[in-house]
Amino acid sequence: MINPILKRALKTWGEKAQMLMVVEEMSELMKEILKNINRKKNNISEIIEETADVEIMLEQLKENYQIEEKVAAYKADKIKVIENRLNEWDKIQPKTEEK
């Protein structure tokens, strides 16, 4: 369920502004991840901030398109697929030798 303050933000500032803000915040997070990996920058506080910003905007995106339940269901299915892949992965990895 969406935070009522975020619902109010979407209603107040509107679909166009808020959906553009989703993209803007995602690009800010992308930039911080790239700095961290490519330039070995110690920017964990920026990554924390931008992750929070993206989560806030994704809540508004789900509210805007009324897709919260479908996203949750899809996510649960995807996690099962990942689990299956991990189990297959574990089967083909060489076992570490016991001492």
Interface contacts to Mg ion, rule CB under 5 A:
25, 28, 50, 53
Considering the complex, state which of residue 45 and residue 66 has its C-beta at the smaller distance from Mg ion. 45
Tokens of 37: 């990996």
CA dist., res. 47 & res. 79, Å (int): 24
Residue with the closest Cβ to Mg ion?
A: 53
Considering the complex, state which of residue 25 and residue 59 has its C-beta at the smaller distance from Mg ion. 25
Considering the complex, state which of residue 50 and residue 63 has its C-beta at the smaller distance from Mg ion. 50
Quote the least distance from Cβ 35 to Mg ion, whole Å: 14
Considering the complex, state which of residue 57 and residue 63 has its C-beta at the smaller distance from Mg ion. 57
CA dist., res. 34 & res. 98, Å (int): 38
Quote the least distance from Cβ 99 to Mg ion, whole Å: 48
DSSP secondary structure letter of residue 93: S
CA dist., res. 66 & res. 59, Å (int): 10
Identify the CA nearest to 61 among candidates 17, 30, 31: 17
Quote the least distance from Cβ 28 to Mg ion, whole Å: 4
